[in-house]
Structure 1
């Protein structure tokens, strides 16, 4: 007796993909329109780095050239924005890059990238609260809180800041009341944030000096010029500056709470990104114009520089804006990580109680509490400087795999379903005839071209990062770049787009070149991060793999659905053969009775 269906094996489980949920059913409340979604991204990205990370990059990484670092990171992030918008127009579910990886690369890769995303966001909230605590203590308490903590807490407890812990508790409580409360707070604070930024930039440009951009000399090490740390420092600053654009996740993770997600998510993502990029570049330039770069002091540099120069009014305005803006960013961040964990738990890859939604508030209550506790614990273990260099590695990896997902979902010829609204009016793009035509299958050709592209991109990034630029190395880099262009061109010419691509509300232009260069830039920035960030990535990957192999592989909803289908078919076939098999057949009655009992 043969079966048309069998339960999935271990290898099949690792690479099984999620199919599109065209019903768009969710237990969460759909109440967010375009404006609240855009404000969610704006509040998250503004508070994420404009007051906290930017002075740190100027002081110790890139100098006055930090504005160039933001432009470079904005270029890479802009390519990622296109990829996110393309995917958001396809799927209206929470989870962001995790879900997109699940649709394209399979379950094991999705579990790992899910922990990349969760780890990055878990680190971000306590980092923001630590920066906020330093500024509150400096401005309101004149440093007495830190002095009191150092006196009364034991040595192993020195990383604990009571203000940071209290702020994390506030984030948790507010998120328990629902997404509408979070949206109202973000809308109220967004106006304060933008007004604060323009006030500071106006004061800085009016009172600063152009000599601060290129003439000042650091008395400690003699560094000077617009880029005192060189081009390598600009690239390193761009990698750290990517922290500013992690707020892109805040928009696309709200797919199950948006009223019209396939239309509004791409618009909100692009709109909030463009506004934030302009504000970041303007603010970084204004800071470097206003004060010598070596005089800044990490996460309190802005307020400290204003205080030292006697600008009391601007100091008060900036501090109030900083407190409210960073508070809104941390609040958005906790909202985002809760939605990612909810999506992973909903798929059965982590503990299912994290996806249980409270019927009254329509919020995953236990999920919020667990994420809040993890954020408090992180603020106890790490200090601000350590967290600031750990934050961007996971973001770069997430952005890179998002671009990979667009390439696979646009060109893959397998049976993965693409939800479309006008599929009957769309036809596949035919293969071009002539010398570019190939005899091998489309899928094999696609895999070969992708393999060549990734190997070339990795080698090119390593040569640009770790080797001295001699004539031989430059020639090798040119050859690798040509190989990258050739492999992407062969994909575009020989592999047709999937049916229904033209009916999407937003589609990425210049496929697959936008995705290819996004991967290359993100990979290059990733290699320029400090070793602690790369070590953190390996920890995320190890934790995600262990959790998946010990729990998710057994309780995945896709696996359970396939197993149930097998049992139903097995039971039906056993019932059909029951009349033909004698009851005395050794072992068979037990199997039949067991299956019938199911």
Structure 2
């Protein structure tokens, strides 16, 4: 039993080697720096403007939502630098999932990829629902009324989770976006050019009209600038973080980029800067134009501009908004299949999901399969329920990626060159995989299995591409890597506990003695976490030259982890419930896969 448990542990935390992808499984390199800037800006800008802004102002922070965007944008910027370093270094599609696989192991990578897939599905469903809501508003709710009358016999559904009627338009939008992403990355980016131009025009129009017709007193009346308090600003920041999740898509597209070592860092910095500025300006204009308690979360900008009694502005804004939301739907459905593609390549999902169309150079099977799920969600689930489920999966991925940067900075990596990709033989072509493990097929003999197992061992922990800075033997290498990971895990656990105690609980305690006791306990826990992180900082960094490096290593990444945990613990309970339930489902799937695999 102990041996089986050790076998599970080794399988769960084995690490992926840095081997190039065979030519028949590679995506087509066709994207430039400008393409990435446009794609990243279109992804983030749409989310901040049309999905998040109204909800944050109305339900989380009030007028101080402006600060929520500033805080979220600043934290996301430094987190994006970590993504940019790893994207320039590894240059393989998969983004957070692949980076964590290389640095932390198979099980952490699986949980990151598993949650990111759900995050993209929910994000696409939210965007499609918002698109339908704006269109329904354009035609004076005739679409909704017609659906209720003819499909439901005039009796809408009464539920806190389901929509009053099936939103057929949202489902169609999601399916059309999936078809667009299946055509090819270049075609998708061409459409995104139009979307981004329209988005920028919307920002300019909103800002000019909003500031001209706005009332400055709306920033402080009737409940003051901090209508929901400081904790409201932090909660809003956690929710606003979703607005800046688009930089993850830049690193996912790295395998389709012509010069990823240069293009990804530059595009990340430019798109993050543009998105932060435009999000803050748009939020400010909406806040002065409309009192926060009158903002409608579903179609905030359109509803606010309708109060100006100018139909031309409203219709022009609506068309631009629909175009901008379309960019967001496409971006999510572009990102998600490439995460699933990378997981399928490594055997963590069904191998058919790794199929690349020779005609379009895209994972058409994955796009088709996962394109149905957001369509179904947007048809049946309420917008306010979907939107509360966002962000937490992104936080998990970002924290894991920041930890991966710290781990990989303490190793020397010998990366394969592009020229080798054309000549390397393709492995794992006749074998099926479950849970990242090789499963013998009917035509495979015991001798073949033993030989292939030795090849697999070369592909994970013992991969020659991993060369720690100071290695005496293999045990020293494992001990060094495990020590860094352990200290980082303890730092995250203690930091999360301290944040929850110091930020949330004391505000709900009425008795002074209990209040100060909790503050003392939280401070002690935080100091313990800080000591754990200082143990990580003692590790000697690698000396290899890299195209891009995060400054202030490891202290800046440590600050980013702390700030992201601060925003994460302020998310609503429904988001945490979604994280735990979905992660448990994924864990059980992986355990079942391991139990039926050949050790």
How many residue pairs get aligned? The number is 523
Kindly state the Cα deviation for residue 305 of structure 1 after the two structures are TM-superposed: 1.6
Report Cα offsets for 1:533-559 as digits up to 9, x if no partner: 00110122122213322337867xxx9
Select 1:456's aligned residue among 490, 494, 504.
494
Q: Label 1:481 to 1:362 Cα distance change in 2 as closer, same or farther (>3 A).
A: same
Q: Which residue of the other structure, out of 520, 526, 536, is the alignment partner of 2:578?
A: 536
For 1:369 and 1:530, how far apart are their aligned partners in 2? 32
Alpha-carbon distance in 2 for matches of 1:24, 1:206: 57
- 8 Å contact 1:397–1:522 — kept in the other structure? no
Alignment of 1:520 with 2:562, yes or no, is yes
1:495-515 Cα deviation digits (max 9, x unpaired): 111242xx1111111111122
Task: Report the Cα distance in structure 1 between the residues aligned to 2:320 and 2:530, rounded to whole angstroms.
Answer: 46
The aligned counterpart of 2:166 is 160
Question: Which residue in 2 is equivalent to 1:14?
Answer: 12
Q: 1:234 & 1:268 partners in 2: Cα distance?
A: 29
CA distance in 1, matches of 2:594, 2:308: 57
Q: State the shift of 1:473 in Å.
A: 4.1
Cα pair distance change 1:322/1:498, threshold 3 Å: same
- Alpha-carbon shift at residue 228 of structure 1 (Å): 0.9
Report 1:180-199 matches (<5 A): 180-199=186-205
What secondary structure, in the 3-state scheme, does the structure 2 residue paired with 1:255 have? helix
- Structure 1 equivalent of residue 299 of structure 2: 300
Residue number in structure 2 paired with 1:95: 94
Query: Is the CA contact (8 Å cut-off) linking 1:460 and 1:477 kept in structure 2?
Result: yes
| 2:230 aligned residue | 231
CA distance in structure 2 between the aligned counterparts of 1:454 and 1:168, rounded to whole angstroms? 37
Deviations 1:297-347, CA, capped at 9 Å, x for gaps: 111121112112213333223212111010011111101001111111111
Deviation track 1:12-33 (CA, whole Å, cap 9, x = no partner) reads 2111100112578552110001
Shift of the alpha carbon at 1:281?
Answer: 0.8
Deviation string 1:271-301 (CA, Å, 9 cap, x unpaired) is: 1111101111111111111111111111112
Q: Which residue of 1 aligns with 2:542?
A: 498
Contact 2:170 2:379 in 1 (8 A): no
Alignment counterpart, residue 147 of structure 1, candidates 139, 145, 148: 145
- Conservation of the 8 A alpha-carbon contact between 2:51 and 2:126: no
Quote the Cα distance in structure 1 between the aligned partners of 2:74 and 2:356.
38
How much does 1:67 deviate? 0.7
Return closer, same or farther for 1:449/1:547 CA change in 2, 3 Å cut-off. Answer: closer
Q: Verify the 8 A CA contact 2:195 2:326 in the aligned structure 1.
A: no
CA shift in 2, pair 1:483/1:79, >3 Å:
farther
Q: CA offset at residue 442 of structure 1?
A: 5.2
Alignment of 1:439-450 (within 5 A): 446=484, 449-450=487-488
Q: 1:52 Cα deviation (Å)?
A: 2.5
1:315 corresponding residue in structure 2: 314
Given that 1:90 and 1:262 are in contact with CA atoms closer than 8 Å, whether structure 2 keeps it comes out as yes
The residue that corresponds to 1:125 in the other structure is 124
1: CA distance between counterparts of 2:530 and 2:414?
28
Any idea what the Cα deviations from partners look like across 1:210-248, whole Å, max 9, x if unmatched? Answer: 1010023xxxxxxx1111111111111111111101212
Q: Is the 8 A contact 2:407 2:484 kept in 1?
A: no
SS of the equivalent of 2:99 reads helix
How many angstroms apart in 1 are the aligned matches of 2:470 and 2:592? 45
| Range with bigger deviation, 10-19 or 443-452 | 443-452
Structure 2 counterparts to residues 57-72 of structure 1, below 5 A: 57-72=56-71
CA distance in 2, matches of 1:418, 1:554: 34
Q: Which residue is 1:575 aligned to?
A: none
Structure 1 residue aligned with 2:415, among 419, 427, 448?
Answer: 419
Aligned residue in 2 for 1:572: none
Structure-2 separation of matches of 1:495 and 1:92: 25
5+ unaligned residues in a row in structure 2: which ranges?
A: 1-5, 158-162, 418-466, 472-478, 508-514
- Tell whether the 8 Å contact from 1:200 to 1:314 is kept in structure 2 after alignment: no
- Describe the superposition over 1:91-141 as per-residue Cα deviations: whole angstroms up to 9, x where unpaired: 1111111111111111111111111100000011111010111111111x1
485, 488, 510: which is aligned to 2:552? 510
Alpha-carbon distance between aligned partners in 2 of 1:535 and 1:520, rounded to the nearest angstrom:
22
Q: Distance in 1 between matches of 2:521 and 2:128?
A: 46
- Structure-2 separation of matches of 1:455 and 1:27: 38
Query: Could you tell me which residue of structure 2 aligns to residue 289 of structure 1?
Result: 288
In structure 1, the partner of 2:457 is none
1:24/1:92 contact within 8 Å kept: no
CA deviation after TM superposition for structure 1 residue 84, in Å: 0.6
2:410·2:469 contact (CA, 8 Å) conserved in 1? no
TM-score, length-scaled by structure 1: 0.82
TM-score of the superposed pair, with normalisation by structure 2: 0.82
- Paired residue for 2:505? 467
Inter-CA distance 340–310: structure 2 relative to 1 (3 Å threshold)? same
Q: Retained in 1: the 8 A contact 2:502–2:523?
A: no
Q: Separation in 1 of the partners of 2:341 and 2:491?
A: 34
Q: Contact (CA 8 Å) 1:349, 1:553: kept in 2 or not? A: no
Of 199, 203, 206, the residue aligned with 2:209 is: 203
8 Å CA contact retained: 2:104, 2:485: no
Q: Match of 1:40?
A: 39
Q: Distance in 1 between matches of 2:296 and 2:280?
A: 20
Per-residue CA distance 1:394-416 (angstroms, 9 max, x = gap): 1111111111111111126xxx8
Contact 1:393–1:533 (Cα < 8 Å) also in 2: yes
Q: Is there any run of 5+ residues in structure 1 with no aligned partner, and where?
A: 1-7, 217-223, 422-426, 432-440, 564-598
For residues 464 and 263 of structure 1, what CA distance do their matches in structure 2 show? 41
SS of residue in 2 equivalent to 1:164: helix
**Alpha-carbon deviations, 1:541-580, whole Å to 9, x = none?**
122213322337867xxx9xxx8xxxxxxxxxxxxxxxxx
Query: Are the equivalent residues in 1 in contact too, given 2:356–2:364 (CA < 8 A)?
Result: yes
Structure 1 SS opposite 2:253: coil
Q: 1:138 to 1:381 in 2, by over 3 A?
A: closer
Larger Rg belongs to: 1
- Per mean C-alpha deviation after superposition, the further-off stretch among 302-311 and 96-105 is 302-311
How far does the alpha carbon of each residue in 1:462-516 deviate from its partner, in whole angstroms, 9 at most, with x for none? 2123321644444454545544544444433x3111242xx11111111111221
- Does the alignment pair 1:249 with 2:248? yes
